[in-house]
Amino acid sequence: MTAPSEDIPVTEVSADPGTPRLAVENLRIVMAPRRGRPETDVVDQVSFTVQPGHVLGLVGESGSGKTTVALALLGLVKRGLAIGGGKVLIDGQDILALSEHELQKLRGKTVAYVPQDPGSALNPVLKVGTQLHEVFAIHGGDAERLTQVMAEAGLEDPGPILASYPHQLSGGQQQRVALAMAFACRPRLIVLDEPTTGLDVTTQRRVLDTVRGLCRTYQVAAVYISHDLAVVAEIADHVAVMYSGRLIEIGAAGELFGSPAHPYTRGLMRAIPSLELSHQLLGMAGSPPRPGNRPAGCSFRPRCEFAIAECELREPEAVVVSDTGHAARCVRATEVAALSGTALLARERTVPPAQEPVLTISDVSVSYTTKRVLRDISLDVGARKAVAIVGTSGSGKTTLARCVVGLHQDWTGTITFGGKELLPGVRGRTRDQLRKIQFVAQNPYGSLNPRQTVGQIIGQPLAHFTKLPGKEHDRRVADALISVALRESFASRYPDELSGGERQRVALARALVVDPELLVCDEITSALDVSVQAAIVELLLRLQAERGLALLFITHNLPLVRSIADDVTVISAGEICERGPVAQVLTAPSHSYTRQLLADVPSIGPE
């Protein structure tokens, strides 16, 4: 039975009981108090435990508070925030009660941190060796161990690496250096903050294996923060889900993913694309509340399909749904958990009849002075078809998109569109060609002019290609907004008032308002949360079907390809490795690179 003062019971996972390595009790972090403003919390009532040698995955989308919790595990709060209450107990000792001086002794030795972006977390003006030796210099321990520690982290030949500056190493090497720094003093707890974001899938797989191995070997407790549930599924024993600063579900990984007990978790699971099956991706309407703006009662209620009257009355307590300690903050948790699976809806893909391809790329090559970026690329995009181009960063896929669209001019080869040849660069192309090929870029924060309203942004291409009288022009703009599921009133808003997902919708509306025939999308959802991504992707597919668009979709995300594309082309280092229908390439790949990619993709999968 749970004691009345605790919200979530201490999870006993391993056979031998004992003090958990890490125990967080009712952690509360607030915005630094100021005169006249009531205390606003950023994180509240967060409690969980982790045993030695085990990994707890802490998941949440942006704004959920997971990074704030991660830093608090080392006793650190960012400027403008303060600890409002609660305890962080490491082997029974509350580190939040320690002085700054004592904390400093603790950090790096007892508790270690692995950063999200090692490129910016390593000091650019100090050699890697200096930064690694520093840990020993401060906490004791001999440098002899350094070589051993580096080998454990997967850095075989330490000499050249120690003598380099961080920018001279690759992303994967940098992350391994960060791992070595973290494990150097054999900490008792390690906090990993999205350490594989930005790494390609293969490197990510290797880093995850290393982390898991080191944790088991040295019986280190680990907290692994991520927004990527698939990655967490691969590495975590237990999972805790955060939403709007609260811990809304916790449980063993297999159980939580198999039968989620909170509607939000359930919603997340349905938004994640699967490598094996093309299913409808379901987003969740609305967005998480900001600190200080929480609705009465449960924070998720406005977006919840299971909401009942009781949900508005008070914030729900934890409800235990199984005897392994799986619990969720939802009054209907037991019902939700009992629902079988996550009810994924398989997608009906009607294969469009084979027609003349809308776009044909033949033997296109691009090279800069010293490097070959693309070599002899050939592929077609059929009418009404969605073709995905997959590759890691640096593979050349973005350059290819830019060639098609006219942003990049130095290429050789032929590109034909609608039967006619496309000249490189925008200057040589006809108005018709310019109108029929439209482009949406990755970064939702750079692609809209901050000085114009949404209506003006969407109206600009419309005014350029058509000369419509004012009323009709406005009507077309309004229609474009509605088609991307935004209200007409958005036309008078400015980009800085919109969220990332809303901005991408505006970018889509801008591309579609002129009735193109081919839409080129360059990683348009990579910067978005998974539930937002789901909504945008479904919108895109619906629009494609309605308007008979051909789609050229650039991405590095293989499961997304399964959900969205008819055909896929795999590119590595500027060359095509494999090409063909999605079902074939992803199920029975013929190229070794594709096989490697597929093997390295993390998946949630049935346990």
- Could you say which residues in the range 275-334 bind another protein, by CB under 8 A? none
Stretch that binds another protein, among 108-116, 236-244, 251-259, 312-320 (CB under 8 A): 108-116
State the number of binding residues for another protein (CB under 8 A): 85
Site for another protein in 459-478 (CB under 8 A): 460-461, 464-465
> Are the C-beta atoms of 574 and 401 separated by less than 8 Å?
no
CA nearest neighbour of 518 among 357, 348, 349: 357
Return the number of the residue (37 or 105) whose C-beta is nearest another protein: 105
Q: Least separation, in Å, of the C-beta of 120 and another protein?
A: 4
- The angle, 0 to 180 degrees and rounded to 10, between the axes of the packed helices 592-600 and 201-218 is 40
Using CB under 8 A as the binding rule, whether residue 498 contacts another protein is answered as: no
Nearer CB in complex with another protein: 331/507: 507
DSSP state of 427: T
Asked if residue 548 binds another protein (CB under 8 A), the reply is: no
Q: CA-to-CA distance for 392 and 395, rounded, in angstroms?
A: 6
CB under 8 A: which stretch of 208-216, 223-231, 381-389, 487-495 binds another protein? Answer: 487-495
Residue 328: CB minimum distance to another protein, A: 31
Q: What is the torsion angle, in degrees rounded to the nearest 10, for the CA atoms of residue 59, residue 61, residue 64 and residue 66?
A: 40
How many CB atoms are closer than 10 A to CB 551? 22
The contact mask relative to another protein for 396-425 (x = CB under 8 A, - = no) is: ---------xxx------------------
- CB closer to another protein, 170 vs 587: 170
The radius of gyration computed from the CA coordinates of the chain, to the nearest angstrom, equals 26
- Name the percent of the chain in helix, strand, coil, to the closest 5: 35, 20, 40
| Binding test (CB under 8 A) with another protein, winner from 126, 308, 345, 351 | 126
18-47 residues in contact with another protein (CB under 8 A) are none
Q: How far is the CB of 10 from another protein (least distance, A)?
A: 27
- Tell me which stretch binds another protein (CB under 8 A): 103-111, 236-244, 256-264, 313-321: 103-111
Distance CA 86, CA 188 (A): 21
Q: Cβ of residue 171: shortest distance to another protein, in angstroms?
A: 7
- Of 2, 120, 148, 587, the one binding another protein (CB under 8 A) is 120
- Interactions with another protein, residue window 356-395 (CB under 8 A): 370-372, 392-395
- DSSP string covering 57-86: EEE--TTSSHHHHHHHTTT---TTEEEEEE
* Torsion of the alpha carbons at 501, 504, 508 and 509, rounded to the nearest 10: 70
User: Is 28 or 510 the residue whose CB approaches another protein more closely?
Assistant: 510
Query: Which member of 1, 3, 125, 346 binds another protein (CB under 8 A)?
Result: 125
Residue found by looking up tokens 């305890």 in the block: 87
- Regarding 452 and contact with another protein (CB under 8 A), the answer is yes
Give the one residue of 492, 587, 590, 592 binding another protein; rule: CB under 8 A.
492
Q: How many alpha carbons lie under 13 Å from residue 410 in its C-beta half-sphere?
A: 7
- Which two three-digit tokens encode residue 438? 């439209």
> Contact letters (x/-) for another protein, 565-584, by CB under 8 A?
--------xx----------
The set of residues, in sequence order, having a beta carbon less than 8 Å from that of 408 and lying 6+ positions away, is 366, 399, 402, 424
Chain positions 130 to 169 lying near another protein, rule: CB under 8 A, are: 134-135, 138-139, 156-157, 160-161, 164-165, 167-169
Q: 520 with 434: CB under 8 angstroms? A: no
451 binds another protein (CB under 8 A): yes
In whole angstroms, what is the distance from residue 331 CA to residue 341 CA? 19
- Give the footprint of another protein on residues 57-76 (CB under 8 A): 71, 74, 76
Q: Return the number of the residue (171 or 254) whose C-beta is nearest another protein.
A: 171
